[in-house]
Amino acid sequence: MIASKSLVSKLLVVVVCMFGFGYALVPLYDLFCDITGIGGKTGQIEQVVAAQERIDKDRVVTVEFTSVSTSGLPWEFRPEKNKLKVHPGEIYEIMYFAKNNSSQSVVGQAIPSVTPGLASKYFNKTECFCFTQQTLAGKEQKDMPVRFIIDPDLPEDIHTVTLSYSFFNAQKYAQN
């Protein structure tokens, strides 16, 4: 019976560890995506750092912009233009337009995603409305800038990068 007890306690330890492992997958997943850049999440860098990048005038990359306002958010949301030809290393600015069509104030959170996922490591922003939550009062409209820079180290075989924003209703997570 003593042998049974010690085996049972060892197995219970395994069970508890595996429950913890399930939760450990959450930060591990973020870390893995961060290192490999496959999660499609964009980076944030300081304006001064971005200004020091070498500009690769010989190379042209097409950046496409798409936007979606998800079903729980009564907003209009679109970029001012659909695509832009850019040189890696140079800072560009593009405006997004958002309008709250409801009469109530709503908090929204934009989530960026870059395709192909491997390009996301090289897609950095110095300013973005997605860095914080946005609040629009009833019927309010707003132009919001995104300032971005593509790292000159972007792999040679990538010619087109798509930046997509999904705006979610974040009333539940409002920070104030």
* Residue 29 sits in the site that holds another protein (CB under 8 A): yes
* Residue 22 sits in the site that holds another protein (CB under 8 A): yes
The enclosing H or E element of 36 equals: helix 2-36
32 or 153: CB nearest another protein: 32
* Residue 88 sits in the site that holds another protein (CB under 8 A): no
**The tokens of 73 are what?**
């958010």
In this structure, the dihedral spanned by the alpha carbons of residues 146, 150, 151 and 153, taken in order and rounded to 10 degrees, is 160
Q: With CB under 8 A, what is the number of residues at the site for another protein? A: 35
* Residue 39 sits in the site that holds another protein (CB under 8 A): yes
* Residue 118 sits in the site that holds another protein (CB under 8 A): yes
* Residue 166 sits in the site that holds another protein (CB under 8 A): yes
- CA distance linking residue 127 with residue 69, whole number of Å: 20
Residues 54, 64, 117, 145: which binds another protein (CB under 8 A)?
117
* Residue 95 sits in the site that holds another protein (CB under 8 A): no
Q: What's the order of all strands across the beta sheet hosting 134-136?
A: 83-86, 61-69, 160-169, 106-115, 134-136
